[in-house]
Amino acid sequence: MADEVGLSTLTLAALAERLGVRQPSLYKHIDSMAGLHRDMAVHAKRALGEILARASVGRSGADAITAMSHAYRGWALAHPARYEASNRMPAPGDVEDEAVSLAAVQIIADVLTAYRLEGDDAVDAIRAFRSALHGFVSYETVGAFQLSADVDRSFDRLVRGFIVALTQWADTDSTVPHAAT
């Protein structure tokens, strides 16, 4: 239902109506709207992790990254509210949410081992990968890509560009000064 109406517009009253129950009956299963959002986030992170794992199993390097990227995008576009929920940070001390969050990131880390990245290089690559995919999908879901170029082609180029960058990731000089902002 959240994917249909949007995570921010989902209400307990509408959920109860959809389920054919009275709203107070929902409180046997959830404690609040915040609790529902938390549970949705855990479920979504677990589902996204499973999608990434299935896409990358038996693959390595560029093939695994490409398959994972397309699976990520496809899942996010098919499940916009769950995707939004999957990006919520776990509350401090929420062991279950922290575990599923880490598990999804670990799948990406495992795929990136093909590029022999360690320590901060690996963390930087994971962050860049997640940011690139999230940025693209976020723009796509709100209809921000209005230029005439094919969106699928643009996505393929983003993924290929990231793969090219990975081949030289550990060789980059981290002492290059940053441009003033």
Give Cα separations from 27 to 12, 22, 31 (angstroms).
10, 10, 5
> What confidence tier does 169 reach under pLDDT thresholds 50, 70, 90?
confident
Could you tell me if residue 178 is inside a domain? no
The whole-angstrom separation of Cα 55 and Cα 99 is 20
- Residue appearing with tokens 């390595």: 60
Which among 133, 139, 173 is positioned nearest to 156, based on CA atoms? 133
Question: In this predicted model, which residue has the larger pLDDT, 160 or 7?
Answer: 160
Give Cα separations from 142 to 7, 70, 159 (angstroms).
14, 18, 20
Could you tell me if residue 35 is inside a domain? yes
Could you tell me if residue 126 is inside a domain? yes
The whole-angstrom separation of Cα 181 and Cα 64 is 35
Q: What is the mean pLDDT of residues 124-153?
A: 92
> What confidence tier does 96 reach under pLDDT thresholds 50, 70, 90?
very high
Tell me the residue range of the domain where 55 lies.
2-12+24-170
> What confidence tier does 72 reach under pLDDT thresholds 50, 70, 90?
very high
Could you tell me if residue 19 is inside a domain? no
> What confidence tier does 174 reach under pLDDT thresholds 50, 70, 90?
low
- Is the pLDDT reported for residue 76 higher than 80? yes
The whole-angstrom separation of Cα 43 and Cα 7 is 14
pTM (predicted TM-score)? 0.82
CATH number at residue 134: 1.10.357.10
> What confidence tier does 40 reach under pLDDT thresholds 50, 70, 90?
confident
Q: Spell 103-138 as b/e; 16+ CB within 10 A means b.
A: bbbebbbebbeebebeeebbeebbeebeebbeebbe
pLDDT digits (tens, 9 = 90+) for 128-139: 999 999 999 999
Number of folded domains that form the chain: 1
The whole-angstrom separation of Cα 166 and Cα 48 is 23
pLDDT at 26: 64
